[in-house]
């Protein structure tokens, strides 16, 4: 079994923001694999189903970004899923808009949601799919930037990125993380 966690902040005012691209990825997976997000437990909105023949639980933690680890740990404990089968999808301001970066493990890289997950799981060894949301313009405050919404032009790019993230998740489950990294850790033409 896999737990696939998309990071974001709950509440209407955060819909469509850069920091919520992880939530958007879960919504895309829900649509692509016909998995209803209809379970509300372990501090998350979840949906159970199958991707590539494997049982999965999609999750959008409702704890706010900086406390995501509380929900991830509760889910991991309840479903008895090891960290290597917990896939975390989240935003990355160090990647160009729409570019993906898949890793087997690693540091938090300044991302507070990941930092909290590492703290709660007690390991850095869980797969992650980072979705580039573009670098912060110099004159912007970081918080204001990650909580800003995408422009119409950026939304076109992000729709392609979300499709790629969904496809990459399937490849990761079906063929392993190396195959997913080989396919998606390169510059992808986003139209």
Q: How far apart are CA 127 and CA 106, in angstroms?
A: 9
Q: Please answer whether residues 133 and 93 qualify as being in contact, where contact means their C-beta atoms are separated by less than 8 angstroms.
A: yes
Q: What is the DSSP letter of 65?
A: G
Collapse the DSSP code of 13 into the 3-class scheme (helix H, G, I; strand E, B; otherwise coil) and give the result: helix
Terminus-to-terminus CA distance in the chain, angstroms?
34
Helix 152-175 × helix 177-184 angle, to 10°: 150
Q: Please answer whether residues 7 and 86 qualify as being in contact, where contact means their C-beta atoms are separated by less than 8 angstroms.
A: no
Q: Please answer whether residues 25 and 100 qualify as being in contact, where contact means their C-beta atoms are separated by less than 8 angstroms.
A: no
**Counting beta carbons within 10 angstroms of the beta carbon of residue 84, is it exposed (0 to 12), middle (13 to 18) or buried (19 or more)?**
middle
Catalytic residues: 19
């Amino acid at each position: 079994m896999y737990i696939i966690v998309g990071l974001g902040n709950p509440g209407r005012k955060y819909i469509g923001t850069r920091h919520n691209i992880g939530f958007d990825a879960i919504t895309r997976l829900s649509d692509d694999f016909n998995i209803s997000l209809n379970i509300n437990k372990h501090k998350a909105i979840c949906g159970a189903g199958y991707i590539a023949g494997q049982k999965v639980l999609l999750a959008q933690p409702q704890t706010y970004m900086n406390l995501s680890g509380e929900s991830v740990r509760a889910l991991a404990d309840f479903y008895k899923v090891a960290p290597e089968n917990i896939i975390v999808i989240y935003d990355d301001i160090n990647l160009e808009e729409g570019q993906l970066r898949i890793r087997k493990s690693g540091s938090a890289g300044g991302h507070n949601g990941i930092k909290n997950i590492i703290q709660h799981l007690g390991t850095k060894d869980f797969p992650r799919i980072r979705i580039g949301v573009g670098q912060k313009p110099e004159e912007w405050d970081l918080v204001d930037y990650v909580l800003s919404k995408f422009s119409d032009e950026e939304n076109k790019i992000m729709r392609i990125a979300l499709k790629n993230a969904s496809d990459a998740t399937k490849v990761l489950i079906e063929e392993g993380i190396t195959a997913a990294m080989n396919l998606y850790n390169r510059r992808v033409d986003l139209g």
